[in-house]
Structure 1
Amino acid sequence: MKLSIITVNLNNIEGLKNTLESVRKQTYKEFEYIVIDGASTDGSVELIKNSPIVDSWISEKDTGVYEAMNKGIEKASGDYLLFLNSGDLLFSNNVIEAVIPKLISEAIIYGDIQFVEQDGETLDTYYFPENLSFKYFFHQSLGHPSTFIRKDLFEKYGKYETNYKIVADWVFFTRVIIKEQVSTKHITDVISIFYMDGMSSDPKNRDTIETERKTFLEKEFSLFHHDYVQYFKLEDRLTKLENNQKRLQSSKGFRLLKALGVKKFNE
C-alpha cells in the first residue's frame, strides 16, 4: 500500500511554506509527495524546486483548483490519495504514521478536522459522523484534507468535474458514496488543520455553492432533491415553533398562564 499526498498551490507562498514544513516533519516518510502549481509568480516555484521532500511537481496554468487536483491524480502512483492543499497542515508530526495501518481496504477513509480562522484563532474540531447519508450530504461534505480516497475510484467513476467551480469535491463524494455506495470508514484521528480562507469558506461564494449543489442534485437525485427540499422546509418550521414554545415555557408569562389553569400549547 502506498500513499500519495497532493498539494495544489497558486500564489500562496506563505501557506505553501507551512504545508511543506508540515509534510516534512512527518515521522512516517514512505509516501509520495506531489505539488501542482498554477504558474505562480510569487516565488512558490523556486520554493517547490528547492524542496527535498517533493517527489514530483509541475507549474503551469490551469482553469481552477479542480483541474489542478485532477493533474495530481494523474501523476499519483499511490493506492490512496490525500489532498492537502496549500495552507492546510497535518494535525501532528505522527498523524500519517498513525493512519497508515488503517488504510486497508475501504474506498474512502475519513478522519476528523480542525478549523482555524485566517488570523490563527482555532474555531473547533469537527468530528464527522460514523455513518454517511443523503441527508448528511444535502447539507455538508467530507473534508478533503482529512479524507483518504482510493485512487481506483477516480479511474472507475471519473475525476473531479471542472464545470463545478467550488463544489466538485462534494459532487464526487456524494456521487460515489450515496449513488454508487462505495465502502467508507470513519477513523477517530484528527488528520489536518484547515484554514478558513479558501473559496468554499468565502461568504461571497455562498450563492454559487448553492447553485452548483442544486444543479447536481436536480440532475442526479431529482426525486430525492424535491422531497428533501420540502422536508427541510418543514423541519425548519417545526424547529422554529419548538424554539418559540421553549422560550414561552421558560417565561414568567407562561408560568402565570399555567397558574391560571391554561393548558400547554402542545396538549
Structure 2
Amino acid sequence: MPLLTIVTITFNAEKYLDRTLESVQRALAHIDPASLEYMIIDGGSKDNTLAIAQQYDFITRIVSERDKGLYDAMNKGLRFATGQYIWFLNAGDEVYDEEVLQKLNKQLHSDPDICYSDAMFVREDGSEVGLRSKFTPHDLPTNLRWQDFKFGMKVCHQAFIVKKSLAPEYDINNLSADIDWEITCLKKADTIVSLHFVLCKYLLGGTSVQNHKRSLTDRFKVLRKHFGLFPTLFNHFFIFWRGYRFVQKNGKYW
C-alpha cells in the first residue's frame, strides 16, 4: 500500500498539466517512489492532455471517460486510490517545492488523521502573488477545527490531506462540496496537524459569474447543514462585512 495517493483531475488541460507533473517529478527525486501513487482522472479530453500525461512514467493510473463534473471525477479518484492518505492537486496547481514530499512523508509516518497548510497563490506566468492566508480574509488557524468553517473555506482543498479511511464521497450536485467534504473529514478526525511548510502553489483562475453565484448559494446550504439556519444567517452578515472591509483595505479580493 502506498503511503500517499495524489489525484489530479483534468479536462482539456494541456495548457496547465505539465507544470503540475513537473513539480511532482522534481519532488519525487527526494523520496522512495514506491511510497507515492499518482493518478490522473480525466473527463474525456479532446486535446493533448492524455498525450502529455503519458510522457511521465511515475503516473500509476490514467482514467479517461466522460463524467458529471469535477466532484464526480474526484469521487472516482477516491474509489480508485489505494494510498493511506489522499491529496487532490488540480491541473495547473503545483507541489510547492522539491522538498515537500520528503517533509510530508516524514509527517505522515507519525499517523495523523489530517494534515493541512497554507497555499501560495501564483499567476499563470508562475509569479507568486502571496499566501492564501494573507491575500484572502481566511487566516490559517494553528489548531484547525471543523467549527472554524462557519465563516467559509478555511483551508483550500489543495492544502488539505486526509486519511482515505475518513474521506466521504463528494456531493456532485453542490458547487461548494469541498467545504462540506473538509468539515465532514474534520468531524471524524482525532489528530489534525498544521504543517510548518507550504504544500502547494494554487493557480489563480476565473470562475464564471453564474457558477460563482451558485457556489455562494450552495455554500449557504452546506453551512446551514453543519451549523443550523439562524447561526448561518448571522455568520453570513459577518462574511459580507469582512469581505467589504478586506476589499477596502487591500483593494482586491483574490
Report the TM-score when normalising by structure 2.
Answer: 0.81
Whole-angstrom distance in 2 between the partners of 1:216 and 1:132: 18
How far 1:228 sits from its partner (Å)? 4.5
2:96 matches 1:107 = no
Query: RMSD of aligned C-alpha atoms?
Result: 2.6
Whole-angstrom distance in 2 between the partners of 1:66 and 1:186: 25
How far 1:5 sits from its partner (Å)? 0.9
Whole-angstrom distance in 2 between the partners of 1:78 and 1:63: 24
How far 1:76 sits from its partner (Å)? 1.0
* CA deviation map 1:151-185 (0-9, x unaligned): 0012xxx2111111x211111112332x4454311
- Say which of 190, 214, 220 aligns to 1:214: 220
Amino acid corresponding to residue 104 of structure 2 in structure 1: V
- Shift of the 91–135 alpha-carbon distance from structure 1 to 2, 3 Å rule, reads closer
How far 1:132 sits from its partner (Å)? 2.7
- Say which of 81, 88, 94 aligns to 2:99: 94
2:197 is matched with: 189
Q: Contact conserved, 1:141 with 1:173, CA < 8 A, in 2? A: no
2:252 is matched with: none
**How much identity, in percent, do the aligned residues show?**
28
- Say which of 223, 230, 237 aligns to 1:233: 237
1:139 is matched with: 152
1:129 is matched with: 141
Q: Contact conserved, 1:91 with 1:190, CA < 8 A, in 2? A: yes
2:177 is matched with: 168
How far 1:218 sits from its partner (Å)? 2.6
1:251 is matched with: none
- Shift of the 123–92 alpha-carbon distance from structure 1 to 2, 3 Å rule, reads same
Secondary structure, in 3 states, of the residue corresponding to 1:87? coil
* Range with greater deviation from structure 2 (3-12 or 213-222): 213-222
* Range with greater deviation from structure 2 (27-36 or 54-63): 27-36
* Range with greater deviation from structure 2 (228-237 or 89-98): 228-237
Unaligned runs of 5+ in 2: 134-139, 245-254
Secondary structure, in 3 states, of the residue corresponding to 1:74? helix
2:60 is matched with: 55
Report the TM-score when normalising by structure 1.
Answer: 0.78
Matched positions, count: 232
Whole-angstrom distance in 2 between the partners of 1:24 and 1:218: 41
* CA deviation map 1:116-135 (0-9, x unaligned): 23354422113521123424
1:39 is matched with: 44
How far 1:146 sits from its partner (Å)? 1.6
Larger radius of gyration: 1
Q: Contact conserved, 1:137 with 1:174, CA < 8 A, in 2? A: no
2:25 matches 1:24 = yes
Amino acid corresponding to residue 163 of structure 1 in structure 2: N
- Say which of 135, 151, 159 aligns to 2:169: 159
Whole-angstrom distance in 2 between the partners of 1:77 and 1:16: 23
How far 1:92 sits from its partner (Å)? 0.5
2:13 is matched with: 12
